[in-house]
Copies of this chain bind each other. A is one copy, B any other.
Amino acid sequence: MEGSAVSDSQDGQIASPRRAPSQQRSRERVERMLAAASALIAEQGSDAMRMGEVAERAGVSIGSLYQFFPDKRAIIWALAERYTAESQACIATALAEVNDAEGLCKAFSELVDTYYGMFLAEPVMRDIWSGTQADKALRDLELADSRANAEFLTAALKRLRPDADPAALDATAFLIWQMGEAAMRLAISVGREEGDRLVAAYKRMALRELVDG
């Protein structure tokens, strides 16, 4: 099997693996690198994460690190990608079977709680979404992710209100989703108590918009 993409990121674009690990040994080493990076981000934040330290903690040389990750952003990107994939699956299942207003309320409410819990519990996710927004590739990933997530919401809305303008539903769902992420970023950057209140207020606002149109 040939390795997939080899595109070195240059402008502000993607950062795919420089070389896909094809042997068992290297796959395990890449896992160790990701684990080390994850731990370091959790401890100090992605900005303070040093590539040399990642290599050392993973028990590999700096050269090996760069064999599989073209640059520092790529390793953060790889971690972010895992989290988004995971959360997207969770969202899809939560919204898949929504068919009436009551079901939407329940599913959306639980979804927000789950998402908020993930933000609170995962230091890496927290750092990546609130800290490393400087990186254009990551912003784009988040945007794409947000669109994908919003589409599950759109789909549910369309089932609820088949006669409404689809484009308007699209915009509403996208906006509501993005605002939810903004509300949660805000919530985790203030105290826990105020954060909880903000998330609750967001939930109430979003639900009104979703249900009443």
Contact = CB atoms under 8 A, between A and B. Distances in A.
Interface in A172-200: 172, 174-175, 178-179, 181-183, 186, 189-190, 194, 197-198
A194 B147 CA distance: 13
A147 to B, nearest CB: 9
Interface of A is mostly: helix
A175 B205 contact: yes
Interface of A: 47, 130-134, 139, 143, 171-172, 174-175, 178-179, 181-183, 186, 189-190, 194, 197-198, 201-202, 205, 208-209
Given A134-B134, A143-B189, 15 more contacts: A130-B133, A130-B139, A131-B134, A132-B134, A133-B134, A143-B190, A171-B198, A174-B198, A175-B186, A175-B201, A178-B182, A179-B179, A179-B202, A182-B182, A208-B208
